[in-house]
């Protein structure tokens, strides 16, 4: 059951940092963009996260993203670099989709860190920061399901556990335009489903009501922290 401890930890750390950034820097910027923002911000770094709490920017989260053409434009290269930087060094996230920074393109980045392997029961292999372009997935029928915590930097008012297929086949392209296909299981399958769903305009919060366990984000974090503490207690 304790499959998303890293994501949870990462979410807490990232969320606190995000709030710090918002309070210190981003709020005036967001207030400014609320009045002037027309097109997605592409080449600014740091990128800012779009949330469902921002009515003027949120539509991109609910709209299927556009295909990316190869060779990559400088704009898309800059976007991917900015997303990786945001994921690795600012949010400490497991993944991020371009729509979450206001760019309506089929681009995701993701990673499975060595730390994740230590604390996740279903994280099998380290994955370095990776971009997947024009990604898609299909469920491997009969692989079963997992029920686990899932949070999203674009959904600041909710958190919870959702059921996902355990295994998927996925496809996409790397940054050089090479076709990629593979199978993912456990945590990586959950991560890719979460990010590729973003590309299709779907948020994990859509899964909360369908047999999920969900509620206010802060309350869910508290429950998750208690689960982690209990697990540590049992393992010592
Ligand atoms: Zn998300």
Residue 110 lies in a domain: yes
Asked if pLDDT for residue 107 goes beyond 60, the answer is: yes
- Give me the domain span that covers residue 43: 15-235
**Distance from Cα 90 to the centre of ligand 1, integer Å:** 15
Residue 6 lies in a domain: no
Q: 15-64 pLDDT, tens per residue? A: 444 433 333 333 333 333 332 333 334 444 569 999 999 999 999 999 99
Burial level of 46, CB count in 10 A (0-12/13-18/19+)? middle
Residue 3 lies in a domain: no
Structural domain count, the chain: 1
Residue 4 lies in a domain: no
Residue 229 lies in a domain: yes
The CATH number given to whatever domain includes residue 199 is 3.90.45.10
Residue 5 lies in a domain: no
**Distance from Cα 94 to the centre of ligand 1, integer Å:** 10
Please confirm, yes or no, whether 115 is among the known catalytic residues.
Answer: no
**Distance from Cα 151 to the centre of ligand 1, integer Å:** 7
Least confident residue range of 117-121, 139-143, 207-211:
117-121
Q: 129-173 pLDDT, tens per residue? A: 999 999 999 999 999 999 888 899 999 999 999 899 999 999 999
This prediction has a pTM of: 0.80
Q: How far is CA 16 from CA 2, 9, 11, 125, 167, in A?
A: 22, 11, 8, 27, 31
Residue 2 lies in a domain: no
Cα separation, 87 vs 127, whole angstroms: 13
Cα separation, 89 vs 75, whole angstroms: 21
Residue among 121, 175, 195, 225 flagged as catalytic: 195
Residue 164 lies in a domain: yes
**Distance from Cα 152 to the centre of ligand 1, integer Å:** 4
**Arithmetic mean of pLDDT over the chain:** 82
**Distance from Cα 98 to the centre of ligand 1, integer Å:** 10
Which pLDDT belongs to residue 235?
64
**Distance from Cα 150 to the centre of ligand 1, integer Å:** 9
């Amino acid at each position: 059951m304790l499959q998303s401890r890293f994501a949870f930890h990462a979410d807490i750390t990232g969320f606190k940092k995000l709030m710090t950034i918002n309070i210190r820097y981003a709020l005036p910027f967001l207030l400014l963009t609320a009045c002037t923002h027309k097109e997605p911000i592409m080449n600014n770094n740091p990128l800012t996260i779009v949330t469902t709490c921002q009515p003027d920017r949120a539509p991109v989260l609910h709209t299927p993203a556009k295909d990316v053409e190869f060779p990559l434009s400088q704009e898309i290269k800059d976007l991917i670099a900015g997303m990786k930087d945001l994921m690795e060094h600012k949010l400490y996230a497991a993944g991020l989709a371009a729509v979450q920074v206001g760019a309506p393109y089929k681009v995701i980045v993701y990673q499975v860190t060595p730390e994740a392997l230590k604390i996740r029961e279903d994280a099998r292999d380290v994955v370095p920061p990776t971009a997947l372009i024009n990604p898609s997935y299909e469920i491997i029928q009969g692989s079963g399901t997992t029920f686990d915590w899932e949070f999203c930097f674009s959904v600041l008012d909710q958190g919870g556990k959702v059921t996902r297929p355990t295994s998927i086949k996925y496809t996409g392209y790397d940054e050089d335009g090479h076709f990629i296909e593979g199978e993912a299981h456990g945590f990586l399958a959950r991560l890719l489903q979460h990010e590729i769903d973003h590309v299709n305009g779907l948020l994990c919060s859509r899964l909360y009501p369908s047999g999920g366990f969900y509620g206010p984000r802060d309350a869910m974090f508290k429950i998750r922290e208690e689960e982690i503490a209990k697990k540590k207690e049992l393992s010592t």
